[in-house]
Amino acid sequence: MYHKHLQFVVLSFLLTAGTLSGCGQRIKGKYKADTLTHDWKQTIPGNFSGQTKNTFDSIQITQFIKKHPKFSAYAGEIHDFYQRRGFAYAWFENKKLIEQANNLASRVLNLQNEGINQPAPYQKELDSLIYNADIHQHQPNIQTELMLTAQYFVFSKLAWQGMDDTMSRSARWYLPRKKVDYQQYLDSLLKETAKSQLPAEPVYRQYDLLRAFLKKYRELAVRGDWSPIVLSAKIRPGDSAIVVPLIKKRLFELDDFHGDTLNRVFTTELQDAVKRFQYRHGLLVDGLLNKATMAELNVPLKSRIEQLIVNMERSRWLPVNLHSDYLGVNIPEFKLHVYHADSLLWSCNVVVGQTVHQTTLFYGEIKYVVFSPYWEVPQSIVRKEIIPQLKKNPDYLATHRMEITGYKEGLPVIRQLPGPENSLGLVKFLFPNNYNTYLHDTPSKSLFGETTRAFSHGCIRVQEPAKLANFLLKDKKGWDAQRIEKAMSAGKEQYVTIENKVPVFITYFTAFIDREQRLNFRKDIYQLDGAMAGMLLNDKHLP
- Looking at residue 411, its amino acid is L
Question: What's the CA angle centered on 370, arms 364 and 375, to 5 degrees?
Answer: 95
From-to residues of CATH 2.40.440.10 in the chain: 322-374+418-509
Q: Which residues of the chain have pLDDT under 70?
A: 1-51, 136-137, 184-185, 187-200, 539-543
At 5, phi and psi to the nearest 5?
Answer: -80, 75
DSSP 59-106: HHHHHHHHH-GGGGGGHHHHHHHHHHTTTB-SSEETTEE-HHHHHHHH
Cα gap 450→433, rounded to integer Å? 29
Cα gap 511→310, rounded to integer Å? 9
- Looking at residue 281, its amino acid is H
Cα gap 521→506, rounded to integer Å? 18
Longest dimension (CA), the chain: 91
Task: Quote the pLDDT of residue 387.
Answer: 95
Cα gap 303→533, rounded to integer Å? 10
Q: What is the DSSP letter of 386?
A: I
Element (H, E) at 519: strand 519-521
Task: Quote the pLDDT of residue 209.
Answer: 94
Task: Quote the pLDDT of residue 101.
Answer: 87
Spell out the alpha helix ranges (H) of 136-181: 142-155, 165-170
Task: Quote the pLDDT of residue 188.
Answer: 60
- Looking at residue 315, its amino acid is S
pLDDT digits (tens, 9 = 90+) for 300-337: 999 999 999 999 999 999 887 788 999 999 999 999 99
Dihedral of alpha carbons 189, 195, 198, 204, sign: negative
Please give the CATH superfamily to which domain 322-374+418-509 belongs: L,D-transpeptidase catalytic domain-like (2.40.440.10)
Cα gap 239→233, rounded to integer Å? 11
Q: Which residues contact 348 (CB under 8 A, 6 or more apart)?
A: 335, 336, 462, 463, 464, 467, 468
Rounded to 10°, the helix 244-253/268-280 angle is 50
Task: Quote the pLDDT of residue 373.
Answer: 97
Task: Quote the pLDDT of residue 5.
Answer: 29
- Judge whether 363 and 487 are in contact, CB under 8 Å: no
- Judge whether 351 and 453 are in contact, CB under 8 Å: yes
At 328, phi and psi to the nearest 5?
Answer: -130, 130
From-to residues of CATH 1.10.101.10 in the chain: 227-299
401: left (phi over 0), alpha (psi -120 to 50) or beta: left
Q: Does domain 227-299 have CATH number 2.40.10.10?
A: no
Number of H helices, E strands in the chain: 19, 21
CA distances from 358 to 197, 365, 459, 496 (A): 43, 20, 9, 28
- Judge whether 533 and 306 are in contact, CB under 8 Å: yes
Cα gap 511→530, rounded to integer Å? 14
- Judge whether 297 and 247 are in contact, CB under 8 Å: yes
Residues serving a catalytic function are: 440, 459
Catalogue the long-range contacts made by 338-342 (C-beta closer than 8 Å, 24 or more residues apart): 338/468, 338/471, 342/205
- Judge whether 317 and 162 are in contact, CB under 8 Å: yes
Whole-prediction pTM:
0.84
Task: Quote the pLDDT of residue 199.
Answer: 47
Task: Quote the pLDDT of residue 134.
Answer: 75
- Looking at residue 379, its amino acid is Q
At 69, phi and psi to the nearest 5?
Answer: -65, -20
Cα gap 425→183, rounded to integer Å? 50
Cα gap 492→370, rounded to integer Å? 10
Task: Quote the pLDDT of residue 30.
Answer: 40
SS3 33: helix
DSSP 428-441: EEE---TT---EE-
pLDDT digits (tens, 9 = 90+) for 375-403: 999 999 999 999 999 999 999 999 999 99
Cα gap 215→505, rounded to integer Å? 28
406: left (phi over 0), alpha (psi -120 to 50) or beta: left
- Looking at residue 280, its amino acid is R
Task: Quote the pLDDT of residue 99.
Answer: 81
Cα gap 520→272, rounded to integer Å? 17
